[in-house]
Chains A and B, each alone.
Chain A
Amino acid sequence: MFIGHFTERPYQDPKSGYFGATGRNLMDLGMSNASYDPKLGADLYNRYLDERVFAEEMGFDGLMLNEHHSTPFCMGQVMNLEAAILARITSRAKIVLLGNILPIWDDPLFLAEELAEIDMISRGRLVTGWVRGTGRESVAHNAVPPYNWERFQEAHDFIVEAWTKPGPFRWEGEHYHYRYVNPWSRPYQEPHPQIWIPGVMSRNTVAWAAKHRYPYLMLATELQPTLESFQYYDEVAAEEGYEAGTEHRGYLFKVHVDETEELAEEAGRKYVQGPSNPFLEGNQGIVRPFIQNLPGLTQRNNLLPTMRSFAAAASRGRAGQHLKEQKKEAPPSPPKDTYVDQTEKLSIISGTPDTVIPKVRHVLETLRPGTIFFWDGDGAMSHDDQMRSLRLMGSDVIPAVREMADELDLKGPFEIDRADETETAAEEPVEGSGDAASQAAD
């Protein structure tokens, strides 16, 4: 079992008026950066890096970063920079990028070079992951949405070739053209860092990941549709002539642990307060559907069952269609407390270790993932909220989850030799601090 930590690194600025009492609209791509405070930004970037170092000390196997643009809910615009810093200031945990937004790169050779450097500086701790991006990324970096999927695939092919094929060589593709591909850097890992593919609902992407045998990570989707998506991956794998295993299944979900149930609810409610991610679950922001659903960005009639989740549907610009379908199925129910609603369906798990661990077990039993990421310290959570949780993760939750994973035989991508699909011995333990760290390589 590979256990990772994730936060979106929200830009928390109550003074801006977007999140505080003044009630300015939290509108996606509708907020001016005139109110951006770089001094606050400096504090936040450093805070989030410090928390990652502590997460490693507490025994997490991976530190996951993500990337969004022109939006306050994620400060990771250039996550490769954060990754490069973590490569130097951490020593054991994998640095998991989920992911670089391939279609917005006009020069993916730069990306191949950057990632190779990160892999070398970290001495082989990079896990690379690639995504197609949301509408806001296509708008922010002005990548033509109808060619998003073409560019994703070509950039992927190009980067893998740039990493693995001795140069110099030429590349004359549809979207990328190079007369001299010969980067003076190569990934530390042979043949290259593992590639994991995160996503929410593109059926194309699941099938593509399965064809490449890349682990697919569902990002905070509800349990049943997530399971169905994994099953779709399994079907494609079978068609491709191999049996998918737990090492191909990853799941990111919101888990916060705290010292008391009262503190856990107080902190847990902050997931849905402040600049939390407006296109996943439980946000207070206003999403503009026509931006998320840019022309040609995703193929129509090509949706995964996650469409059933209202938040995901609304974020992708199909709220109306979803509502119509929902009306057919059941009469509308009165609005619920968002936090309570999400805790009931385990979209948010927050509590003391005693209440959290059984819920995590339920998730593991239901989905059988070999990789999980706890999404914590987000929304309006403070540094103190995050540090309390990380301590309890290290002392209680991570050890318990490792036991469960052994019992349930949930193996992560680093416990399987991908060359011949057989299990390998656990990696050599590396010197860490704290009891939890010594268990990380189990």
Chain B
Amino acid sequence: MAEAVSYTEGELALATGRIKYLEQGSGPPVVVLHHSWGSPGWLPFHDRLAENHRVIVPDMPGWGGSERPAWARDPRDVAIITTRLLSRLELGDVKLVGLGFGGYVAAELATMNPSRLAHLILVGAAGLQPKTGEITDQMMLSHRKYIEESFRDAETYTAYVGDEPPDDIRQLWDLSREMTARLTWKPYMFNRRLEPLLGDLDVPTLIVWGERDKVVPFECAKQFEAAIPNARVEVVAGAGHVVELEEPERLATLVGRA
């Protein structure tokens, strides 16, 4: 039997445009920033977190139901708008979880507004140029191939997405890719001006990486760990880039303990 939907949809009007978010639960606030391919909605990972947190899952500006700031040219612009979201919702001691590209935005946000954060959790986060290897370039892959690369294997991808992605999912991926291109076509998925700013970050940071992440090299986990004073790395066995989909329990537990 399907569980009743218990999350709520919220909307916030900022001068830079409307922000849509999903919310559920009570307790210490957790804000989850989605991947570059957009938020697929309320997930089992969010449910699990909501058991003992107030969980807020925004569509980042320009993604999903949030208005596009046409002037934005850099992930840092999105990070600035996201700090306004935290302020307007009066969130303090936030556990900020960033998934992939959302991790890039979360790291940028932490460098500019750490006072609202209790913990930074970067999951397969982009944002730093890997010293070895390269971040997989979605622009040179079909949507399907790129998302498939995000899972630990093709079978898991099919189990989640099906043989053919439904039209609404395709549309989400397509529009999300456009916003991603607007912000980080070049350099692709990193900012050389980020790493120097991480050195004074006084927010405890947990760096989570799927053992089988094929999108962002594990090298980046080590680089984040080296750059941020109070950081540690957790590797999730068997997971790919989308740890929140493949290992929701494990990731929620790590966030809960942080």
Contacts and interface: CB of A to CB of B under 8 A. Distances in A.
A and B assemble together: yes
Interface of A: 139, 142, 144-147, 288-291, 294-296
Interface in B130-186: 139-143, 174, 177-178, 180-182, 185-186
A145 B139 CA distance: 10
Contacts of B142: 288-290
Residue in B140, B143, B181 whose Cβ sees the most chain A Cβ within 10 Å: B181
The majority secondary structure among interface residues of chain B is helix
A286 to B, nearest CB: 13
A295 B178 CA distance: 5
B68 to A, nearest CB: 10
Given A294-B181, A295-B174, 15 more contacts: A139-B140, A144-B181, A144-B185, A144-B186, A145-B181, A146-B178, A147-B182, A288-B142, A289-B142, A290-B140, A290-B141, A290-B142, A291-B140, A295-B180, A295-B181
A194 to B, nearest CB: 33
Residue in A142, A288, A289, A296 whose Cβ sees the most chain B Cβ within 10 Å: A296
Nearest to B139: A294
B182 A146 contact: yes
Contacts of B181: 144-146, 294-296
A142 B185 CA distance: 8
Contacts of B178: 146, 295-296
Contacts of A289: 142
Contacts, number: 33
A287 to B, nearest CB: 12
B182 A296 contact: yes
Contact of B182 (A139, A144, A288, A290): A144
B168 to A, nearest CB: 15
Residue in A144, A147, A288, A289 whose Cβ sees the most chain B Cβ within 10 Å: A144
Contacts of A290: 140-143
A145 B182 CA distance: 8
Contacts of B180: 295
B217 to A, nearest CB: 21
A49 B158 CA distance: 53
A147 B178 CA distance: 10
A142 B186 contact: yes
Interface residues of B, number: 13
Contacts of A142: 185-186
B139 A295 contact: yes
A145 B185 contact: yes
A222 B174 CA distance: 29
Interface of B: 139-143, 174, 177-178, 180-182, 185-186
Contacts of B186: 142, 144
A176 B70 CA distance: 18
A232 to B, nearest CB: 25
Residue in A147, A294, A295 whose Cβ sees the most chain B Cβ within 10 Å: A295
B30 to A, nearest CB: 30
A295 B177 contact: yes
8 contacts: A139-B140, A142-B185, A144-B182, A145-B185, A146-B182, A289-B142, A295-B178, A296-B178
Contacts of A291: 140
Contacts of A295: 139, 174, 177-178, 180-181
Nearest to A296: B178
Nearest to B188: A142
A293 to B, nearest CB: 9
Contacts of B185: 142, 144-146
Residue in A142, A146, A289 whose Cβ sees the most chain B Cβ within 10 Å: A146
Nearest to B173: A295
Nearest to A147: B182
Contacts of B140: 139, 290-291
Nearest to A290: B142
Contacts of A294: 139, 181
A142 B186 CA distance: 8
Contacts of B139: 139, 294-295
A146 B71 CA distance: 12
B92 to A, nearest CB: 36
B136 to A, nearest CB: 14
B67 to A, nearest CB: 16
A297 to B, nearest CB: 9
A154 to B, nearest CB: 14
Nearest to A29: B140
A288 B180 CA distance: 20
B71 to A, nearest CB: 9
Contacts of B174: 295
A307 to B, nearest CB: 18
B85 to A, nearest CB: 24
Nearest to B141: A290
B17 to A, nearest CB: 17
A296 to B, nearest CB: 4
Contacts of A144: 181-182, 185-186
A288 B174 CA distance: 16
Contacts of B182: 144, 146-147, 296
Nearest to A317: B142
Contacts of A147: 182
Contacts of B143: 290
A357 B142 CA distance: 45
Nearest to B186: A142
A52 B185 CA distance: 39
Contacts of A139: 139-140
Nearest to A291: B140
Contacts of A288: 142
A294 B181 CA distance: 9
B170 to A, nearest CB: 10
A257 B180 CA distance: 49
B5 to A, nearest CB: 31
